[in-house]
Chains A and B, each alone.
Chain A
Amino acid sequence: MSEHATLKIWRGLDANAGRWETYEVPFEAGQSVLDGLRWIRVNCDPTLAIRFSCINANACKECMIELDGETVYACTARLQPRKMTLAPLSNKKLLRDLVTEIAPPTERFTNS
């Protein structure tokens, strides 16, 4: 039987009023958590909001999330064949689902 990772993911636009959704993701040794999130977007739910740029190289540093309460890069955290709980960074302003406002204040849009 093929193995699965069970990803329990925080969803929502309001940090105080979110919900948890759970997805079964096919597990292949060596995959990253980001691989699992991208699989969900293609195969289950394209509305899942995630932030990443470099995909695999751990160069852009955009894919920071909380995995089982620990801050990780989704691109270097390994997917595992177990239940994994994914939440947005709790110390940053929530934008949506796993996406938070991570840009420094001087790199955000302002009317001018």
Chain B
Amino acid sequence: MTQEPLRAETDVLVIGSGAAGMYAAIEAASKGCQVLLADRSLIGRGGATVMAQMTVAVALGSETADHWSYHYSDTLTAGRGLCNEPLAQLLCEEGPDCIRTMDGWGVGWARKDGRITQAMAPGHDRPRCVYVDFLNTGPAVSKTLRTIVNKSNGIRKTGDLCVVDLLHNKGDVVGAAALHLGSGTPVIVLAKATILATGGLTRLFRRNSASANMGGDGYALALRAGACLVDMEFVQFFPIGHLAPRLIGMDPIMWDPFRYKLGGRLLNNRMEEFTQHYGVAEDGKYVITRDVGSYAILKEVEAGRGSPHGGVYLSFQHCPERALREAFGPVIDRLATNGIDLTKMPIEVAPIAHYHMGGIVSDAKMQTDLPGLFAAGEAVGGANGANRLSGNAITEALVFGRRAGRSAADYVKRLRASPDHAENAHKAIALIAANAPSSNFNTAEMQLTLQKTMQDNVGALRSGPKIAAAIDKIDHLTDEIGHTPPSDGNRFDMRRIDWFDLRNMLLVSRVVAEAALARTETRGAHQREDHPHLSPDWALNQTVALQNASIELSGGPRDTAVAAS
């Protein structure tokens, strides 16, 4: 295609419109910046935020006395020694203010006797999680922020924009080049500051709880632009993702809130509770953390004690129907239309990829290694260490989003001139408009192959040989897609869109696999069957950078020993 690129200029470009991106846009606009809020999908409807079912962890102390330092302490404990402390502190300390601001904007946190209700969740020392009934936290947060975005002066919005590469000039990030899906045309956005609010990478795994646009694109954009990533081996698997019977119109993480409110019992195929054999006796309460829960379930399945679809059972059969109705009202009817009566049957659950602890290296101002580039929300690496505490994701999205918006606005004010040039604009446009006419591979099938490989080999239970086999497969797929996207010359060209997704997914998969292979221990969400114990030598954060298109890991024990000698 030879179309002239579409062009836009702005003070702040925000890529991604989940909670982090929208809050960043609102904050930057409130400081007087012109903002362009861009998303692959519709504004404020894609990403992970809208999928959140229930808990938002925050030391409000509305019912039980609390202080952010207790929340911080629980976050560090969950992170198994690897949390970036300034980022974790920021999350916990500013959480209450963001949650109260959201309350003022009408999000509708559940209340009892006028006080915001706070639920107990695994890993917390006291009830700390606010929510919106019923299973409506994510949609309510998204809708509230969409309303404020729409009321804010200075925010332009565009959906259907698939960002292909960040633009740079003399070492500064100055915007992004994108494929406009609706027209098939390249787009150049010049921006004084750019915020990556692209979420995580759960789409790399076959069983996940994410939106289709969570393929780690922000990590790939940052890497190719020269920024560093950290903790990329730490993918959180949510232990009790819905497995069977087939359920439509419901998020697979929906059983989390059920367990918060009603406890529930995890059972193997002998209908016996088993978590006590893995060190955590539940006694009908929901206390098992995500890393231990995923491990226990997969080990039961491996021992031949799994449910028919390859998970375990979760039962609420001991709960009276009245209690189920009181806790979840209309959701009980939605389950009935799917043929599920919890008083009569258990459901099957299994671990699914849910969240990424790793991400873009950022300081507590959300500034990355590159001038002009900021990160926000799940895209930021480090706050949650090796395992995220329940409820920290939405809090992080709000707090980090606000901080990124503020920092980008400060940066814009300090700049003397608007960027008028990007060194790599021509190259990016050429790639976006390129066409590999002879390629006939099935991009959708290749994505599924990659997802299966990552799920089976770099998932919740890992080993050196399995990860090495995954790296071979990733290399093979990378060779197969080549350097040029296929194109039929028309708009909404799915193979071309898939190709740009694959380009990012394969790079980020390779990064996750290499970081996982290097970490020869078990810690938090990273569970190595060939290295089943935590190693004190590995109380370290690995970082990743691209050097001449090859992945360079650093920060492991060997590097640290060299640095100390």
**Given A47-B488, A107-B158: A28 and B246 interface contact (C-beta under 8 Å):** yes
Q: A-side interface residues toward B, CB under 8 Å? A: 13, 28-32, 38, 41-43, 46-62, 73, 75-76, 78, 95-97, 99, 101-103, 106-112
Nearest chain A CB to B347 CB, angstrom units = 12
Nearest to A50 among chain B residues (CB) is B494
B213, B442, B494: residue with the most chain A Cβ atoms closer than 10 Å: B494
Binding site of A, secondary structure by majority: helix, strand, loop or mixed? Answer: loop
Residues from chain B with Cβ under 8 Å of A60 in the complex? 41-42, 45-46, 50, 211
Q: Does B248 contact A (CB under 8 A)?
A: yes
How far, in whole Å, are A51 and B492 apart by their CA atoms in the complex?
9
B212 sits at the interface (CB 8 A): yes
Contact of A106 among B9, B157, B448 (CB under 8 A): B157
Interchain nearest-CB distance for B381 vs A (Å): 24
Contact residue among B10, B47, B494 (Cβ-Cβ distance under 8 Å from A41): B494
What is the count of residue pairs linking A and B with beta-carbon distances less than 8 angstroms? 138
Known: A43-B445, A59-B138, A112-B156. A29 touches B495 (CB 8 A): no
User: Can you list 14 pairs linking A and B with CB atoms under 8 Å apart?
Assistant: A30-B247, A31-B246, A42-B448, A46-B442, A56-B248, A57-B50, A58-B248, A62-B45, A75-B249, A102-B42, A107-B43, A107-B158, A107-B159, A109-B8
Q: Is the CB of B248 within 8 A of A78?
A: yes
Chain A residues closer than 8 Å to B443, beta-carbon distance: 46
B6 and A109 contacting across the interface, CB-CB below 8 Å: yes
> Known interface pairs A62-B42, A102-B42. Does A108 touch B138 (Cβ–Cβ under 8 Å)?
no
A contact residues around B40 at 8 Å (CB): 53
Q: Are A55 and B212 in contact (CB under 8 A)?
A: yes
Q: Assess the B211–A55 pair: CB atoms within 8 A.
A: yes
* B residues 477-525 in Cβ contact with A at 8 Å: 488, 490-495, 498
Are B6 and A54 closer than 8 Å at their CB atoms?
no
Q: How far is the CB of A31 from chain B (nearest CB, A)?
A: 6
The residue from B41, B47, B187, B248 contacting A32, defined by CB atoms under 8 A apart: B248
Q: Is B66 an interface residue (CB 8 A)?
A: no
User: Could you tell me if B46 and A53 are in contact, using CB atoms closer than 8 angstroms?
Assistant: yes
Question: Residue on A with the closest CB to B180?
Answer: A109
Rounded to whole angstroms, the CA-CA distance of A42 and B449 in the bound complex is 10
Minimum CB–CB distance for A91 against chain B, Å: 17
Known: A29-B246, A53-B212, A108-B158. A42 touches B445 (CB 8 A): yes
Contacting A54 at CB < 8 Å: which of B46, B246, B494? Answer: B46
Query: Which residues of chain A are within 8 angstroms of B495 by Cβ–Cβ distance?
Result: 46-47
Report B136-191 residues with CB < 8 Å from chain A CB. 138-139, 150, 156-161, 180, 182, 187
Cβ–Cβ contact B45 & A109, under 8 A: no
What CA separation (Å) do A77 and B249 show in the bound complex? 9
CB contacts under 8 Å to A, within B425-459, are 442-445, 448
| Residues on B with beta carbons closer than 8 Å to the beta carbon of A28 | 246
* B336 close to A (CB within 8 Å): no
Q: How far is the CA of A71 from the CA of B425 in the complex (A)?
A: 41
Q: Which residues of B contact A47 (CB under 8 A)?
A: 488, 493-495
Contact of A59 among B10, B161, B251, B338 (CB under 8 A): B251
Are B45's CB and A107's CB within 8 A?
Answer: no
For the complex, is B252 an interface residue (Cβ under 8 Å from A)? Answer: yes
Is the C-beta of B250 less than 8 angstroms from some C-beta in chain A?
A: yes
Q: CA–CA, A103 to B146, complex, Å?
A: 13
B267 at the A interface (CB under 8 A): no
User: Is B51's CB under 8 angstroms from A57's CB?
Assistant: yes
CB contact under 8 A between A111 and B492, given known A57-B250, A59-B251, A62-B45: no
Residues A13 and B498 in contact, CB atoms below 8 Å apart: no
Residues of A within 8 A of B6 (CB): 109, 111
Contact A56 B212 (CB under 8 A): no
* Bound form: Cα–Cα A99–B493 in Å: 11
A86 nearest CB across to chain B (Å):
16
Complex Cα–Cα for A41 and B447 (A): 11
The answer to the question of B532 belonging to the interface, with a C-beta cut-off of 8 Å to chain A, is no
| CB-CB nearest in chain A for B49 | A59
Q: Are A108 and B182 in contact (CB under 8 A)?
A: yes
Contact A46–B51 (Cβ < 8 Å): no
B344 interface contact, C-beta 8 A = no
B212 / chain A contacts, CB cutoff of 8 Å: 52-55
In Å, the complex CA distance between A46 and B444 comes to: 6
Closest B residue, CB atoms, query A49: B492
A23 to chain B, nearest CB (A): 14
